Amino acid sequence: MSESQEGLVELILPGGEGVLRHQNNNILIANTVAGDHIQYQIAEKRRGVLRGELRKVLKPSIDRIQAPCPVANECGGCALQHMSLSSQAALKTEWVHQAFVKCITHHTQFTALNSSQTVSAGRRRVRWFIEGGKMGFRKRISHQIVHNHKCMVVSPGLNERRKQLEHNLQSFPPVIESIQAVELSNGYHIIFESNAKFEDVVLPDVNVEENVQYWWRHLDSPSIKPLHRPTFSFFDSISLEPYKNCAVDIQIGPNDFIQGHQQGNQILIQQVLEWSKGSHRIVDLFSGCGNLSLPLAAAFNATVVGAESNVHSVHAANKNAKRLKLDATYHEVDLFGRFAIEPFIGADTLIIDPPRKGAKRICNMIQQFFPKQIIMVNCDAASGSRDALALQQAGFRLKALRPLDLFPYTGHVEVISLWTS
């Protein structure tokens, strides 16, 4: 490691690392706030980028606060612990504005974040790693774990589950490397993860509870096996108000993707519902298990056609549609390759909710789908910016843009945008 240097942190990048200049090079340093005058050391060069280690804050930024979590400087989970929620909201709003600025016009309704719109800490999907008889999250840029008695961003139910699991850890097979947990409206999926095969180990002895389903996953395989039968079904309950005075219960399996916050997911779905009013035909690309489109089918009696590459999610979406007696059909499709687009043409509302790398191919061929309007959801503002430019070049106009802070204290921001022709 080099000798200590001094410098001024100029800005915070999406992801949460601070940037300062040193001899015409950008240095990325975690746990900093824009305006901090710091002492640091250059630690390494990773993927062509210099990274430094914070040694001391010489003069703190006016936006710096005492991190509320005692392990904030070590844990790799929350990059913005040293900023107040209001400062985080302003920063994340600016990230989204800058990413989409080339598409924003005076006609665009842009909704800035404020701290009251930040969902409360209550993450419902986690993966704990195991080391030395303890469970925790990994350190930043490391495989070592940080153990904390209670995580402030995880739901109370999952914090309690972690304590119970850790208490029984010595009775579990030592080959377990991590434990994944998902909290749903009526129960928990607990997934033991290992490089050992299911049939090669003495399986953990678990107490069967009606609101907990235990599973075994081989880390090199998508296969997952229950540790007890009968298996229990758990649901994410999504309110349809004010459109219907009820909720829709979407069954979520251990292999199904689900938004990390239930409250945040409800906010996201409410925005999709509002923008989709009057739609009779919905096309949902990167549909997952139907998280965004099944509520539309239930609220508006709409017809839904979805596409997703994950076979487990397609099966779950169709199973949910059948159980709920909704007019929704989902297809297994590689949306990054060549596919028949005929089933997806002519939507009143076309939903695009791609993974982090975006939907470049879909957006470049968007004119072939002939949608009346497009709702795009991006979990990465940079790839969302690229996809937005493709929509704009295809003749669509950015009508509304809204950042959503579904992961407070992290360097992550969700973006939802509405496009009309």
Spell out the domains of the chain, with CATH numbers in brackets. 5-64 (2.40.50.140), 86-119+235-420 (3.40.50.150), 125-184+187-226 (2.40.50.1070)
Q: Are 137 and 162 in contact (CB under 8 A)?
A: no
Please tell me the distance from the alpha carbon of residue 122 to that of residue 262, in angstroms, as a whole number. Answer: 8
State yes or no: pLDDT of 89 exceeds 80.
Answer: yes
143 or 71, higher pLDDT: 71
Which DSSP symbol is given to 96?
H
Closest to 193 in 3D by CA, of 139, 201, 207: 201
Looking at residue 1, its pLDDT comes to 58
Residue 401, strand partner residues: 110, 417
pLDDT at 205: 81
User: Crossing angle, helix 85-100 and helix 381-393, to 10 degrees?
Assistant: 30
Contacting residues for 235 by C-beta, under 8 A, at least 6 apart: 184, 185, 186, 249, 250, 251, 252
Residue 229: C-alpha distances to residues 52, 99, 168, 187, 260 (Å):
51, 48, 21, 16, 27
In the chain, % of residues over pLDDT 90: 79
Contact 91, 381 (CB under 8 A): no
Instruction: Compute the average pLDDT of residues 279-284.
Output: 98
Amino acid identity of 125?
R
Q: What is the reported pTM?
A: 0.94
Give DSSP secondary structure letters for 139-172: BTTSS-EE--SS-TTB-HHHHHHHHHHHHTGGGS
**For residues 124 and 203, what is the distance between their CA atoms, to the nearest angstrom?**
25
Length of the chain: 421
116: CB partners within 8 A, 6+ apart: none
How confident is the model at residue 191, as a pLDDT? Answer: 96
Catalytic positions? 379
- Angstrom distance (rounded) from CA 202 to CA 223: 18
pLDDT 10s digits, 364-412: 999 999 999 999 999 999 999 999 999 999 999 999 999 999 888 999 9
Output the pLDDT for position 388: 98
Structure confidence at residue 117 as a pLDDT band (50, 70, 90): low
State pLDDT tens for residues 193-207.
999 888 888 878 888
Taking all residues of the chain, what is their mean pLDDT, rounded to a whole number?
A: 93
The dihedral through the CA atoms of 347, 349, 355, 361 has a sign that is positive
Q: Looking at the predicted structure, is the pLDDT value of residue 209 above 80?
A: yes
CA angle 235, 355, 399 (to 5 degrees): 95
Averaged over 279-307, what is the pLDDT?
97
pLDDT at 118: 63
